[in-house]
Amino acid sequence: MMILPLLIGLFLPQGSAAPQGGQEIPLDRVVFIVNEDIITQRSYQRQLQGIFQQMPPQTEDDRRRAHSLLQQRLLEQFIGQQGGETLGYDPAMIERYVRDYEERFIKQLGGIDAMAQYMADRSMSLADLRQDLRISVYRDLWEESVTGKGVAAKNRLVVDRWVRPGLLKLQHDLAVATPGGAEALGGTPARVALQILEIDPARVGGAAAAPEAARNLLVRLKQGEDIEELGRQFALEGSRLAVREPLEEQALEAVDPTLGKSVRSAREGEWLPPIPPASPGGSWRLVRVAQRTPGKLPPFETRALQVRLRETIREDLDAQRLARARAEQYSGSYIWPKAPESAARR
């Protein structure tokens, strides 16, 4: 008859009194369900504290973001674990993986003492840690099977990861035409440094007179008049007349198409034709291409470039395959509650 009081003393929170007169004291409760798996409040709060340690919340919005992040992690974790469990892997093999993950985790932390401190900081038992690792094993095996990085049970190959040459060329051409794409290919983009005089309509007789004033000012600039002096007379207050920092040509065209297209064919040192306002009431601009730096791209035939392209394509395909597989898993899953954050806080 002494066993029950002893167990109650073991499992009650420290400092709690034993129940009196049939009073029920909850020791833990379910706050999240994904199919047959559950998350208890103790486990949820343990993982939430781990997020708080990495990203200490400063505001209530920070706390809500932490809950949202954890809920997304839990969904992906359980969907991956359950997907892995359906693939038919030998349980003994899974346990070997768990031991391997544990050994690597200990090395990563710096030894047994560091792992003990890690678990103490998160109120984890060794059983908690090993269960987390087991979930990770199943999830990793499922993701590798979905993406083709690994093989399914019994060495079944289920995804073809070969990248067709035509897809390599398409990825190359898209990168060349996209801002930032040159760096992604291991090259450098074409850049231009501009000098711009923005005309203040109020200083040239109003918006109607601005086009003619722009043409006249352009003639004077081409004849060698000082831009600083003309700027003091006709530019918008606070305009920057000095040569600006070099800009990537493609990025310039993306944010200011009219200016970007005008600059594309201009020679270094050339003044462009007056550029009209981008919107009603705006300013006419006089622009000089002060400096032009050509871009450099490795030839498509370069082996290193094709390896880079192939890896980029595979990463994109992996993300797409995972997204589709998770969506299929979600659509057939029972998830409770739909907003577990509120349940975790009650």
pLDDT in tens, the chain (346 residues): 333 333 333 333 433 444 555 555 556 899 989 999 999 998 898 889 889 988 999 999 999 999 999 998 998 999 999 999 988 889 999 999 999 999 999 999 999 999 999 999 888 899 999 999 999 999 999 999 899 888 666 666 678 889 999 999 999 999 888 888 888 888 999 999 999 999 999 999 999 999 999 999 999 999 999 999 999 999 988 777 888 889 999 889 888 998 998 898 899 999 999 999 888 778 999 999 999 999 998 999 999 999 999 999 999 999 999 999 999 988 889 998 875 544 444 4
What pLDDT shows up at residue 42? 87
C-alpha Rg value of the chain to the nearest Å: 32
Backbone angles phi, psi at 239, to 5 degrees: -60, 145
What pLDDT shows up at residue 220? 94
For the chain, domains (ranges, CATH) are: 25-187+298-346 (1.10.4030.10), 190-293 (3.10.50.40)
- Report residue 141 as tokens: 């095996």
3-state secondary structure of 17: coil
The 3-state DSSP composition of the chain as helix, strand, coil percent (nearest 5) reads 55, 10, 30
What pLDDT shows up at residue 241? 83
Task: Give the C-alpha separation, 114 to 111, whole Å.
Answer: 5
C-alpha distance from residue 169 to each of 161, 179, 186, 308, 341 (Å): 17, 18, 15, 12, 46
